[in-house]
Amino acid sequence: MFTIRSVFADQGRIESGSFDLIPTNDQGKAVCALFLDFLSSRGLEFREKLPFLKKGETELEWAAAGGGAALASFYESGEPLCMAILLSGINPEADRQMIAALRQTVLDAVLGPQADSLADAPERPIVLNVIFPDHAELVPQTQLLITALASVYFRVMLELGADTKQQAP
């Protein structure tokens, strides 16, 4: 399981949901397969249009950091839809640094004192996702995309983490 906490920037509202690491519905499986294929041919940092989406000009900006933490931002026609950090829990220091960066750039300004409770979320793996208000009609698509991306990323990171632990003397 993994958790997604979504912050709606225009409302200061937080929603939380839990998801299976491996999707159980056909749509989720299909989108995860597309993301796995897409990410497997990219580097640790990039910004590119998602070629598997038939409508719109949706781009993913991706930066994977060492220790199982990553930053993902989705854009539509150059305008931000969301900014998310993905924290696998493999390296608590990497998680802490990524949370600190999100707080400095967005969370504190959007949530004020509520940012503490979000930043202190104990669940791992977790996505902390800030959804921007300009494209409300794209929120369901954006949430599906970040959920599928997180599913793929966390499965790969947790598998790599398990492999590393098994190889340790």
Q: Pairing state of beta strands 13-19 and 69-76?
A: unpaired
Distances (CA, A) of 164 to 44, 64, 117, 156, 157: 19, 18, 32, 12, 10
Positions of the chain with pLDDT under 70:
161-169
Look at residue 108 in the predicted model and tell me its pLDDT. Answer: 83
Q: What pLDDT, in 10s, does the model give residues 23-63?
A: 999 989 999 999 999 999 999 999 999 999 999 999 999 99
- The per-residue b/e assignment along 115-135, b for 16 or more CB within 10 angstroms, e otherwise, is beebbebeebbbbbbbbbeeb
Look at residue 31 in the predicted model and tell me its pLDDT. Answer: 93
Q: What is the per-residue DSSP string for 94-157?
A: HHHHHHHHHIIIIIHHHHGGGHHHHHT---SSEEEEEEPGGGGGGHHHHHHHHHHHHHHHHHHH
Look at residue 127 in the predicted model and tell me its pLDDT. Answer: 97
pTM: 0.91
